[in-house]
Amino acid sequence: MPCLQADISDEFLKSFIPETVYLVEGDIALPAPKIAEPATAPAPKPAEEDATSPATVAAPEAMVPPEPVAAKQHVHELPKIPKKEPAAQKQKYKVAGENRKGVVVLVTIPEAEFAHLPQLQFLQKILSAIGLQPSDVAYVNNISGELALFEELQKELQVNYIISFASRIETALPHEKFTLYNPVTVGSVPVVFSQALKMLADNVEHKKMLWGALQRTFKV
């Protein structure tokens, strides 16, 4: 019997007799079963870190975002002025005739009248009286209505003489005062001023004064 009792283990008793066993005098004292303490899970052994594990790989340096490029400051450029084509210069003089001798017959009349001027018999008689043919003169109409400039006329054509019929002339060159039927030299060019051809045709007195001025100028 004692041998049997010795073989009974504590674990067996705990599983077979769950109640607390008390020692009775005369019986073999058995140690009271120990209440198993809850097993504590062993602390996990820290795993050896692999040299290539994420924990050991150096964290990439934080990427510093590039500083925002400052927006290009808007430059207020001066407005471009559109190029303008040079305006065509308005024609100031209408010229007809061959002008073989550089004699300018200057008028300021409507274009319709000017178109018939070379055929005007009264004018042709005046020119013939001083030894000129229609081909010897230049018929010039100041269509602008402005003062005719002596220097402009010289740029337009050859000017050796000027006979002006009621058409005023201006110049920067020194000269005597311009008056009717009084030849005035501008530079080396004799200039004779007369009344309009229409007025001369019916005025004998003005015809005589014009004839006298032309004789002195053309030596006839």
Question: pLDDT value at position 174?
Answer: 94
84-107 tens-digit pLDDT: 665 556 789 999 999 999 999 999
**Least confidently predicted of 62-71, 107-116, 188-197, 209-218:** 62-71
Instruction: Give 105-134 as a DSSP string.
Output: EEE---HHHHHTGGG-HHHHHHHHHTT--G
Domains along the sequence of the chain with CATH: 93-218 (3.40.470.10)
pLDDT by residue (tens digit) across 41-62? 555 555 555 544 444 445 556 5
The pLDDT of residue 3 is 47
Q: Which two tokens stand for residue 110?
A: 């409507």
Q: Would you state the pLDDT for residue 45? A: 56
Place 220 in a pLDDT band, splitting at 50, 70 and 90.
confident
Question: Model's pTM, two decimal places?
Answer: 0.61
Separation CA 115–CA 42 (nearest Å)? 131
Is residue 121's pLDDT more than 80?
yes
pLDDT at res. 91: 86
Q: For residue 162, with 0-12 CB atoms within 10 Å meaning exposed, 13-18 middle and 19 or more buried, which class applies? A: buried
Q: What is the pLDDT of residue 4?
A: 45
